[in-house]
C-alpha cells in the first residue's frame, strides 16, 4: 500500500492504495465518482478520459499512485466552467447522446478541444474525437453540439463576457 | 482487465532510477508516460514485479537548444512537441508527426523516450528520428553511451537498450534552411497505429538525404536507393518507383505480402513527392 494525496474536483483527497489500482478504479470505487466510465481498459475507447493537471488523460492508463500531488477533474467537477455549461446545454439541445456511456468523456474531450481552439471546423472536431468511441455511432449530433458550443464560447469571448 | 499486482517506486533522480533498475530482485520495468506499458499490463501482456516511474524526473523533461541541435529529455511528451512548447530542430516535421500520433489524451502523457524504448514497429518516433539521424544517450550503471537512433531498434519490440539502461536524451541536429521533408502515415482511422509510414528528409545544406519506412515487419527500414535519387533531385516517377521497388526487394527477410509491398511503396512515393513538389 502506498499513501497518495491529490486534488479531485477541487478537494484534497488522501488514501492508501495498492500500486496496481488504476486512477479510473480509484475514482469509481474509492470516491464513488462513477461518471468516469470504463469501456476497453486499454486506452482505445476513451470512455475513461478525465483531466489530469488540466489535460485530458486516460484514467485506465494511469495508476492512482502516479497521481500523487496532481490535480484531477472528472465529469462531476466543472461546476463553474462556462465551456462545460455551453457543452451540456448543446448536447441536450442537439440530442448528442443516445445510451450516454461515452458522454462524460466526450464532454471532457470537447471541453479541451474548445479551450485549445480546435473546435472551429467539423474536420478538427472529428479528428479531435477520434480517440472517443460512441458505439451508438451518434457522432453527427455530437459534432454539431460541440461546434455550436464552440461558437457560443467564441462569441462570448468576442463580446468580452 | 486490471493490471496485476506490482510494486511501484518514484525515484528522485535519474541516477537513483538507474540504481533501482540495476539492483531490482524482480523484473523491473521503467515507466515513462506508461501509455503502452499500462495497456500491456491491463491486458496481462506485461507482468513486471516493479515499476520505476521516471515520468516526472526534471532532468528527463528538460530540453536544450544549442547552435546546431536540440536535445530532448526522454520524458518530453508528444503533446509538448505537437504544441511547439519545445524548440523544433526539424522545421515542422516533428510537430506534424506528434499531431498524428494516437490521441490527444495519449499524447499528453506519452513520451518520446518511451516510444523509442518500446520500439513498436508501427510507432512513429523510431522511424522519424532515424530519418532525422537523431542520436540517443543511454545511461546505465557503468555510465553513459551514445547510439544513433537508426541503429537503436533491432526488431519488433527489440532494441540495443541493455536491461539496466535508461534512455536519457534524444539529440536531433537542426535541419538547414534548404531542407525539405515529407511524411505520410496511412491508417484507417486518425490516431491508429500506422499500416504504412514513410518519412523523407532531404537536406542539401547538410549534404544528407534519408528515406525511412516504418510499420515494416521489423525495425524502421532505410530505403537507400530511393534516398540517393532524392539527394540527386531526380523527379522522374518511373525511376523513383523502381528505386523504391528495389529497396523493398532487398528486404526479403521482412516477408512483405503483396498488400504490404503496395502500401509501403505508395506511402514512400507520396512522401517523396511531398519533398519534390
Is B64 found in the same domain as B40? no
Is B146 found in the same domain as B72? yes
What letter would DSSP give residue A40?
A: S
**How far is it, in rounded angstroms, from Cα B51 to Cα B101?**
25
Q: B208, B233, B234, B204: which is closest to B222 by C-alpha?
A: B208
In angstroms, what CA-CA distances link A123 with A129, A146, B21, B81?
10, 12, 45, 22
When mean pLDDT is compared across A153-157, B1-5, B270-274, the lowest value belongs to A153-157
In angstroms, what CA-CA distances link B31 with B11, B73, B237?
11, 14, 45
Is B161 found in the same domain as B81? yes
- Cβ of residue A25 closer than 8 Å to a chain B Cβ: yes
- B148 with B132: CB under 8 angstroms? no
Q: A83, A105, A91, A96: which is closest to A151 by C-alpha?
A: A83
- A83 with A54: CB under 8 angstroms? no
Is B210 found in the same domain as B134? no
- Cβ of residue B38 closer than 8 Å to a chain A Cβ: yes
Q: How does pLDDT run across B124-159, given as a tens digit for each residue?
A: 999 999 999 999 999 999 999 999 999 999 999 999
Is B228 found in the same domain as B186? yes
Q: Distance between the two ends of chain A, CA-based, in angstroms?
A: 48
Q: With bands split at pLDDT 50, 70 and 90, how would you rate the model's confidence at B263?
A: very high
Is B144 found in the same domain as B65? yes
Is B163 found in the same domain as B70? yes
Query: CB distance A61–B39 less than 8 Å?
Result: yes
Is B116 found in the same domain as B14? no
Nearest chain A residue (CA) to B50: A19
E-strand spans in chain A?
A: 2-8, 11-17, 49-52, 55-58, 71-73
pLDDT of residue A92: 98
Query: CB distance B79–A131 less than 8 Å?
Result: no
* pLDDT exceeds 80 at position A161: no
* Rounded average pLDDT over B261-269: 98
Is B167 found in the same domain as B63? yes
Q: Is the dihedral of CA B148, B180, A122, A90 positive or negative?
A: positive
Q: How does pLDDT run across B86-132, given as a tens digit for each residue?
A: 999 999 999 999 999 999 999 999 999 999 999 999 999 999 999 99
Is B192 found in the same domain as B152? no
Is B188 found in the same domain as B82? no
* Rounded average pLDDT over A96-118: 97
pLDDT of residue A159: 83
Cell numbers standing for residue B137: 544517450
Of A2, A41, A131, the CB nearest to B105: A131
In a domain, B2, yes or no: no
Task: Identify the structural domains of chain A with CATH numbers, from first to last.
Answer: 2-73 (3.10.20.30), 82-158 (1.10.150.120)
- Cβ of residue B266 closer than 8 Å to a chain A Cβ: no
Domain final position from B128, B149, B173 = B173
User: Looking up cell 508528444, which residue turns up?
Assistant: B78
Of B2, B55, B105, the CB nearest to A20: B2
In a domain, B45, yes or no: yes
Q: How many CA atoms lie within 13 A of A17 on its CB side?
A: 25
Domain final position from B173, B199, B229 = B173
In a domain, B1, yes or no: no
Q: With bands split at pLDDT 50, 70 and 90, how would you rate the model's confidence at A158?
A: confident
Q: Could you give the angle at the alpha carbon of B168 between the alpha carbons of B163 and B171, nearest 5°? A: 125
Is B254 found in the same domain as B154? no
Q: What is the SS3 assignment for B204?
A: helix
Of A2, A22, A112, the CB nearest to B3: A22
Which structural domain range is residue B231 located in?
180-276
Of A25, A42, A49, the CB nearest to B39: A42
- Cβ of residue B108 closer than 8 Å to a chain A Cβ: yes
Nearest chain B residue (CA) to A130: B190
Interface with chain B: mutation pick from A3, A6, A18, A20, highest number of B CBs within 10 Å: A20
Q: B216, B217, B223, B169: which is closest to B201 by C-alpha?
A: B223
Chain B environment of A46 (Cβ under 8 Å): 103, 105
pLDDT of residue B218: 96
Of A2, A46, A52, the CB nearest to B103: A46
In a domain, B270, yes or no: yes
- B91 with B175: CB under 8 angstroms? yes
Q: How does pLDDT run across A41-57, given as a tens digit for each residue?
A: 999 999 999 999 999 99
CATH code for the domain of B240: 3.30.390.50
In a domain, B101, yes or no: yes
What letter would DSSP give residue A102?
A: S
CATH code for the domain of B91: 3.30.465.10
Nearest chain A residue (CA) to B6: A20
Altogether, the residues listed in chain B come to a count of 277
* Rounded average pLDDT over B72-90: 98
CATH code for the domain of B44: 3.30.43.10
Chain A environment of B34 (Cβ under 8 Å): 61-63, 66
In a domain, B217, yes or no: yes
- Cβ of residue B1 closer than 8 Å to a chain A Cβ: yes
In a domain, B218, yes or no: yes
Residues 6+ positions from A3 with CB-CB distance below 8 Å: A14, A15, A16
Query: CB distance B42–A109 less than 8 Å?
Result: no
Domain final position from B173, B201, B222 = B173
In a domain, B30, yes or no: yes
- Domain total in chain B: 3
* Rounded average pLDDT over B254-276: 97
Amino acid at each position: 500500500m502506498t499513501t497518495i494525496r491529490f486534488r479531485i474536483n477541487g478537494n484534497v483527497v488522501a488514501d492508501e492504495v495498492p500500486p496496481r489500482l488504476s486512477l479510473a478504479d480509484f475514482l469509481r470505487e474509492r470516491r464513488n465518482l462513477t461518471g468516469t466510465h470504463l469501456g476497453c481498459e486499454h486506452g482505445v475507447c476513451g470512455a475513461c478520459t478525465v483531466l489530469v493537471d488540466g489535460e485530458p488523460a486516460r484514467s485506465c492508463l494511469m495508476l492512482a499512485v502516479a497521481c500523487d500531488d496532481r490535480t484531477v477533474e472528472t465529469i462531476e467537477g466543472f461546476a463553474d466552467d462556462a465551456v462545460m455549461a455551453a457543452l451540456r446545454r448543446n448536447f441536450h439541445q442537439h440530442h448528442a447522446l443516445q445510451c450516454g456511456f461515452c458522454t462524460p468523456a466526450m464532454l471532457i474531450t470537447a471541453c479541451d478541444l474548445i479551450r485549445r481552439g480546435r473546435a472551429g471546423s467539423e474536420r478538427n472536431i472529428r479528428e479531435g474525437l477520434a480517440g472517443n468511441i460512441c458505439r451508438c455511432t451518434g457522432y453527427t449530433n455530437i459534432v454539431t453540439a460541440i461546434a455550436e458550443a464552440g461558437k457560443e464560447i467564441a462569441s462570448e469571448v468576442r463580446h468580452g463576457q | 482487465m486490471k493490471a496485476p499486482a506490482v510494486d511501484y517506486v518514484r525515484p528522485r533522480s535519474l541516477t537513483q532510477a538507474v540504481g533501482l533498475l540495476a539492483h531490482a530482485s524482480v523484473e523491473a520495468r521503467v515507466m515513462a508516460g506508461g501509455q503502452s506499458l499500462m495497456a500491456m499490463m491491463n491486458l496481462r501482456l506485461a507482468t513486471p514485479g516493479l515499476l520505476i516511474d521516471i515520468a516526472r524526473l526534471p532532468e528527463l523533461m528538460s530540453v536544450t537548444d544549442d547552435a546546431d541541435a536540440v536535445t530532448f529529455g526522454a520524458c518530453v511528451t508528444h503533446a509538448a512537441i505537437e504544441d511547439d512548447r519545445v524548440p523544433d530542430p526539424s522545421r515542422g516535421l516533428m510537430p506534424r508527426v506528434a499531431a498524428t500520433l494516437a490521441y490527444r489524451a495519449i499524447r499528453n502523457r506519452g513520451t518520446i523516450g518511451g516510444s523509442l524504448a518500446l520500439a513498436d514497429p508501427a510507432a512513429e518516433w523510431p522511424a522519424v528520428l532515424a530519418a532525422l539521424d537523431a542520436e540517443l544517450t543511454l545511461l546505465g550503471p557503468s555510465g553513459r553511451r551514445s547510439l544513433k537512433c537508426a541503429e537503436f531498434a533491432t526488431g519488433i519490440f527489440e532494441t540495443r537498450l541493455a536491461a539496466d539502461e535508461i534512455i536519457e536524451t534524444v539529440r536531433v541536429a537542426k535541419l538547414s534552411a534548404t531542407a525539405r521533408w515529407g511524411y505520410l502515415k496511412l491508417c484507417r482511422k486518425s490516431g491508429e497505429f500506422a499500416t504504412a509510414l514513410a518519412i523523407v528528409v532531404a537536406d542539401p545544406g547538410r549534404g544528407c538525404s534519408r528515406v525511412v519506412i516504418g510499420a515494416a515487419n521489423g525495425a524502421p527500414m532505410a530505403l537507400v536507393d530511393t534516398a540517393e535519387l532524392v539527394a540527386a533531385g531526380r523527379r522522374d516517377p518511373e525511376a523513383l518507383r523502381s528505386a523504391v521497388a528495389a529497396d523493398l526487394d532487398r528486404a526479403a527477410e521482412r516477408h512483405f505480402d503483396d498488400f504490404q509491398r503496395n502500401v509501403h511503396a505508395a506511402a514512400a512515393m507520396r512522401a517523396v513527392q511531398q519533398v519534390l513538389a
